[in-house]
Structure 1
Amino acid sequence: MSESQAKPSRRGFVLGAAVAGAATAAVATLPKTVTPELPVAETTPPAPANGGGYRVSEHVKRYYKTTQV
Structure 2
Amino acid sequence: MSSLSLARIFPRFPALPRPGLAALLALHRQRQRLARLDDAALEDIGLTRDAALAEARRPLWDAPGHWSHAER
Q: Could you tell me the TM-score, scaled by structure 1's length?
A: 0.31
- Structure ranking higher on relative contact order (CA contacts 8 Å, 6+ apart): 2
Q: Could you tell me the TM-score, scaled by structure 2's length?
A: 0.30
Higher Cα Rg: structure 1 or 2? 1
